Amino acid sequence: MHALFEEAGKFLAGRILSEAESSAQVELDSGKRVKVKAANILLKFEKPAPAELVAQGQAQAAEIDLDLAWEFAPEEEFGFADLARDYFSESATLAQQAGALFCLYDAPHYFRRAGKGRFKKAPAEILQQALAAIEKKKQIQAQIDAWAEELGRGECPQAIREQLYKILFKPDKNAPEYKAVVDASRTTKLAPLELLHRAGAIDSSYQFHWKRFLFDNFPKGTGFPAVQAPQPPADLPVADVKAFSIDDSATTEIDDALSVTGLGTGTVTVGIHIAAPGLAITPGGELDKLGRARLSTVYMPGYKITMLPDDVVHIYTLDEGRSNPAVSLYVQINEETLETISSETRLERVPVEVNFRYDKLDHIVTEEWLTDSSIEVENTPDSLLGKRKELTFLQRWSKFLKANREVVRGKPENFNRPDYNFRLVGNDGAEPNGSEQVQITVRKRGAPLDLIVAEAAIVANSTWGLMLAEHGVPGIYRSQASLAPGVKVRMSTKALPHAGIGVKAYSWATSPLRRYVDLVNQWQIIACARHGKTAALAAPFKPKDAELFGIISSFDGAYSAYNGYQAGMERFWTLKYLEQNGITELTASVFKEGPNGSFLVRADNLPLVLPVLGAQNLPRGAHVRVKLGEIDEISLDISGTLIERLDAGAEAGSDGEDSAEDDDDTVAGPISIAVDMNDADPAADQPKS
């Protein structure tokens, strides 16, 4: 005797070895013996063989017209054998009964299961909905198959092109476009990005990176809604100074300016003047919401996305030729010893006489030019000559401040690598298209103008950070417990020491037009300047305010993403520079082990890190010549091969003091671009021009 039974949703057949009241022992064709509940046995038969009955039943099931079977089925509950007799004949064969069973079981949209071998036909309206859904699913699958076939042929369907960034970076795995890419990727054995690239989904490598960034960070676009730009208070006093700013030529958000008075009197007053949007933008207002949504200006070669609308920036930027609202820190200094005597914070309008630009003056304002008044440089602007004495004092003071910070740090700052400036020829601030000619120039870190601005910012940020703490007003601080390897810079609401800079406390408050945390701190500083000892009651943010922690968390994420994109785009334009200038070889220094047996090297005259094969036995700091490989502008990838070592006698570690910082470098790529903003380099906490 044989039995056909259901087991875990499958139909099996085998020979009955023994049978009890509630179960039976059945041997399958494979030889396996199973215990089957009596309720699960649906048919008992002598002939044919179990496997043959299953095969015959499956053949019969394939021939059953489901629509006709549904018509024949009774309205009440029925068994599969009942349907077989109604559909085939009163004397339905064993194979026909098995076929009816298999057919009913596999058509839940026509027949609902009501027990072992029992069914009830679906209502007509439910059936029609189910059939429509099945037909729609078939059509979708047919579309998926067609799209996958196109991708396999190297063609990109328009629907997939339109969903490119969503498919790659935030996929809906149930979407047909995504499924088509997955199917084609499996068939062609290509990674999705490579598959789509080969199919022509990516028209421009630059646009790929740009649109991916917008997709992740600005899904609604970069435009601003129409918001009324607020005017600063009308009763601000005008400062009796003639200030000047120092930035590069591309800077439109001029946050900071300097003034010097009292030269030759024994007590010199240095004014550090910071643009003051916080005097009119109110916490919780529409402009505050815009700033909090963006959190920072986004920089990239040739272009930027500002944190605040242009008309707001125009009101508060420290443009030359007008008196601008500012929060000013005045520092009284002993002219001989350079020691600080006192400091004072004022809210005022500051007359800005001139906006100096690094890129036009760095070759003039050298240490020699500042210390020797007899040195003359051709085409020196009169405005610069008029500030020569002030700049000379500021440079002397800056060197003094830096030396004192280095005592606290326990070791000197040694910026042995330059900053690089990118210029896209003919771009003029418009959104790039990726085909512009790129120029890369060098600005050495620690040059006089750079040092003056950096030290003034450190004085302001540390002084105001301590002032907030003294008044019991919370602020947003950056701190670093020590310079030990692995100790990162942290953001918090506590005034803690910053070992990397060498100060007791360090807030970010000197770029309120460009960074939201600086604007938040400016509101708190304004409260201190206006209310003194009662500032804690008037400040917008109170001690242990949960909103401050939320701002820190949001800012960290956004700032890291923005810096990552900037690093990626600088790498993109560096690779473009190699292509445009036909550079196939370069010199570099080895600085750490890289992937797949390679070593990472840093180019001597370009902002480029790349893996090089053949440098495995070279020490850190070895100077080498490298042959460059192919450039991939989508993955931002380039590698090299060692040609020769140029300094056979160099010792390991000759790359200088920046070694701890070097370990945070990454080879940027479009899928995961990571830039560690928490390095041990104090310049990372100084405002960028």
Looking at residue 50, its pLDDT comes to 93
Looking at residue 9, its pLDDT comes to 83
Q: Output the CA–CA distances (angstroms, integers) from residue 142 to 57, 135, 149, 177, 197, in the order listed.
A: 30, 11, 11, 12, 24
Q: Which residue has the tokens 């990516």?
A: 202
DSSP secondary structure letter of residue 221: -
Kindly give the interhelix angle for 124-152 and 176-188, rounded to the nearest 10 degrees. 40
Separation CA 79–CA 655 (nearest Å): 84
**Are 167 and 293 found together in one domain?**
no
pLDDT at 675 over 90: no
Hey, how many other C-beta atoms are within 10 angstroms of the C-beta on 553?
A: 11
Looking at residue 447, its pLDDT comes to 86
Whole-number percent of the chain with pLDDT over 70: 93
Looking at residue 477, its pLDDT comes to 95
Kindly state the average pLDDT of the residues 255-262.
96
Looking at residue 685, its pLDDT comes to 52
* Residue 434 belongs to some domain of the structure: yes
What amino acid occupies position 685? D
**Are 294 and 418 found together in one domain?**
yes
Separation CA 282–CA 229 (nearest Å): 12
pLDDT at 661 over 70: no
Separation CA 394–CA 259 (nearest Å): 10
**Are 503 and 535 found together in one domain?**
yes
What are 227-245's pLDDT values in tens digits? 888 888 989 999 999 999 9
Separation CA 324–CA 37 (nearest Å): 90
pLDDT at 333 over 90: yes
* Residue 608 belongs to some domain of the structure: no
**Domain range enclosing 109:** 2-122
Separation CA 303–CA 439 (nearest Å): 14
Kindly give the interhelix angle for 388-409 and 448-470, rounded to the nearest 10 degrees. 60
What are 567-616's pLDDT values in tens digits? 999 999 999 999 999 999 999 999 887 776 778 999 999 999 999 988 77
* Residue 77 belongs to some domain of the structure: yes
What are 491-504's pLDDT values in tens digits? 999 999 999 999 99
Looking at residue 282, its pLDDT comes to 92
Looking at residue 647, its pLDDT comes to 85
Kindly state the average pLDDT of the residues 149-175.
90
What amino acid occupies position 579? E
Kindly state the average pLDDT of the residues 104-132.
91
Separation CA 39–CA 32 (nearest Å): 20
The three-class DSSP label of residue 48 is coil
**Are 145 and 108 found together in one domain?**
no
**Are 28 and 93 found together in one domain?**
yes
**Are 78 and 157 found together in one domain?**
no
Pairing of strands 340-357, 243-247: parallel
Separation CA 323–CA 353 (nearest Å): 9
Structural domains in the chain (count)? 3
Separation CA 48–CA 56 (nearest Å): 10
Indicate the length of the chain as a whole number: 689
Separation CA 667–CA 652 (nearest Å): 22
Which of 303, 316, 320 lies closest to 250 in space, CA to CA?
Answer: 303
pLDDT band at 134 (very low <50, low <70, confident <90, very high): confident
366, 549 Cβ separation under 8 angstroms: no
**Are 439 and 359 found together in one domain?**
yes
Kindly state the average pLDDT of the residues 132-143.
91
Rounded to 5°, the CA angle 488-490-494 comes to: 140
Q: What is the pTM of this model?
A: 0.79
Which of 94, 104, 207, 203 lies closest to 158 in space, CA to CA?
Answer: 203
| Contacts of residue 398, Cβ cutoff 8 Å, sequence gap at least 6 | 451, 452, 454, 455, 456
**Are 118 and 143 found together in one domain?**
no
Of 434 and 522, more confident: 522
Mean residue pLDDT of the chain comes to: 88
Helix intervals (H) in 514-630: 516-531, 535-538, 546-580
The three-class DSSP label of residue 490 is strand
**Are 23 and 85 found together in one domain?**
yes
pLDDT band at 672 (very low <50, low <70, confident <90, very high): very low
What are 40-74's pLDDT values in tens digits? 999 999 999 999 999 999 999 999 999 999 998 99
**Are 371 and 253 found together in one domain?**
yes
Separation CA 467–CA 196 (nearest Å): 56
> Mean pLDDT highest for which of 420-429, 524-533, 617-626?
524-533
**Are 150 and 256 found together in one domain?**
no
Separation CA 181–CA 196 (nearest Å): 8
pLDDT at 665 over 80: no
pLDDT at 676 over 60: no
* Residue 591 belongs to some domain of the structure: no
Looking at residue 143, its pLDDT comes to 93
**Residue 338 burial class via C-beta count within 10 angstroms: exposed 0-12, middle 13-18, buried 19 and up:** middle
| Contacts of residue 41, Cβ cutoff 8 Å, sequence gap at least 6 | 3, 4, 5, 24
Prior bond to 108 cis, omega within 30?
Answer: no
| Contacts of residue 220, Cβ cutoff 8 Å, sequence gap at least 6 | none
For the record, the structure tokens of 117 come out as: 């071998």
214, 221 Cβ separation under 8 angstroms: yes
* Residue 234 belongs to some domain of the structure: no
Kindly state the average pLDDT of the residues 656-678.
36
**Are 114 and 153 found together in one domain?**
no
* Residue 565 belongs to some domain of the structure: no
Domain boundary among 515, 543, 571: 543
pLDDT at 668 over 50: no
Q: Output the CA–CA distances (angstroms, integers) from residue 565 to 502, 536, 546, 558, in the order listed.
A: 30, 38, 29, 11
Domain boundary among 525, 543, 561: 543
Domain boundary among 58, 87, 122: 122
Hey, how many other C-beta atoms are within 10 angstroms of the C-beta on 222?
A: 12
Separation CA 141–CA 135 (nearest Å): 10
Separation CA 263–CA 335 (nearest Å): 8
| Contacts of residue 369, Cβ cutoff 8 Å, sequence gap at least 6 | 375, 377
What are 301-318's pLDDT values in tens digits? 989 999 999 999 999 999
Show contacts of 533-542: CB within 8 Å, 24+ apart. 533/471, 535/471, 535/472, 535/473, 536/471, 536/472, 536/473, 539/473, 539/474, 540/283, 541/283, 541/474, 542/474
* Residue 630 belongs to some domain of the structure: no
Looking at residue 659, its pLDDT comes to 34
The three-class DSSP label of residue 352 is strand
Query: How remote is the C-alpha of 391 from its chain's centroid?
Result: 39
Looking at residue 687, its pLDDT comes to 41
Separation CA 199–CA 156 (nearest Å): 5
* Residue 522 belongs to some domain of the structure: yes
The residues pairing with 331 across neighbouring beta strands, listed in sequence order, are 270, 343
Separation CA 679–CA 674 (nearest Å): 13
For the record, the structure tokens of 320 come out as: 């030359």
